[in-house]
Amino acid sequence: MGQASSASADAVLAIAKQKVPFLPPLGSPNPANPLVFFDIAVSGQPLGRVILELKQDVVPKTSQNFLELCQRGPGKGFKSSEFHRIIPKFMCQGGDFTAGNGTGGMSIYGAKFPDENFKLRHLGPGILSMANSGPNTNGSQFFLCTAQTSWLDGKHVVFGQVVEGYEVVKAMEACGSSSGATSLDVSIADCGPMTSGSVKAAGAAGVTGHISSALCPGGSVQRSYSSVPRPATFTYGCRSLSSASASLRRPFSVRGVQRVCAGALPSKSSRMSLRRL
């Protein structure tokens, strides 16, 4: 935890209870893709759950790395690790489960692995992307966008999105500062794959979405997504997906921020750059 603008735990907890207009920035989730959860804590107090879709259909290797790290224990994966760098109106960075300060972490493939592709873009709040220290240096560090960050396209691999719990991300954001130092400890108390339950996402203009997951015979996971009004349904074998069109609210970008880096401690001259997350 670093010195940052003061935010009390009670104030942050209150933010997490306030629903915000939100739709997944990459569109309706693909029901064939895995869902994972983060149970977030602030200074040891439960804040809420964030549910993420991993875009295994577009970036399978990057998604598998994240999925496996969600299932490992403390010190070997994301469980009990902290978001060491949070910049409001930009992003929340975590995934350094070895050093905890942005200099560590490792992938399931070894220390680093190559950029898989840049097909997905940093379209808006809720994007899940890999932090790095340059081309082909992906490890375990990642970031959750709280703004549109299009200048990162082609530099950081987008591999997922928030589908529920964006109000928790907004509460996490309140713990940050322009330097990235946090006023409260923000940690992943628990994490793992979603095998059952439901997901609800509030969209712009009162549109709400609902994702349900259930274990199918043979161990496969059945998921469905629906939103109202004007649902359009798609069927994928035993899976169905419903969605409604709604405009995404695009926040302004943060001037001076260029990359999200990992592997080195921030220097005073580069505090507003996106270093390896």
DSSP 200-256: EEE-GGG-EEEEEEEEPGGG-EEEEEEEESS-EEEEETTEEEEE---PPPPPPPPTT
**Hey, is 64 helix, strand or coil?**
helix
pLDDT, tens only, 129-155 = 999 999 999 999 999 999 999 999 999
For residue 117, indicate whether it is catalytic: no
For residue 26, indicate whether it is catalytic: no
pLDDT, tens only, 258-270 = 567 776 544 433 3
For residue 84, indicate whether it is catalytic: no
Q: Mind listing the domains of the chain with CATH numbers?
A: 9-270 (2.40.100.10)
For residue 210, indicate whether it is catalytic: no
For residue 85, indicate whether it is catalytic: yes
Q: Strand 91-94's sheet: what is its strand order? A: 85-87, 91-94, 142-145, 127-130, 158-164, 45-54, 35-42, 186-193
In the 8-state DSSP scheme, what is residue 110? B
pLDDT at 195: 75
Select which of 93, 141, 148, 222 is catalytic.
Answer: 93
pLDDT, tens only, 39-92 = 999 999 999 999 999 999 999 999 999 999 999 999 999 999 999 999 999 999
Q: Nearest CA to 254 among 277, 274, 275, 276?
A: 274
Select which of 49, 84, 85, 223 is catalytic.
Answer: 85
Dist. CA 118–CA 180, nearest whole Å: 26
pLDDT at 6: 61
Dist. CA 19–CA 42, nearest whole Å: 18
For residue 143, indicate whether it is catalytic: yes
Q: Nearest CA to 152 among 176, 179, 127, 174?
A: 127
pLDDT at 94: 99
| Average pLDDT of the segment spanning 94-104 | 97
- Joined together, the tokens standing for residue 234 give 């798609």
For residue 97, indicate whether it is catalytic: no
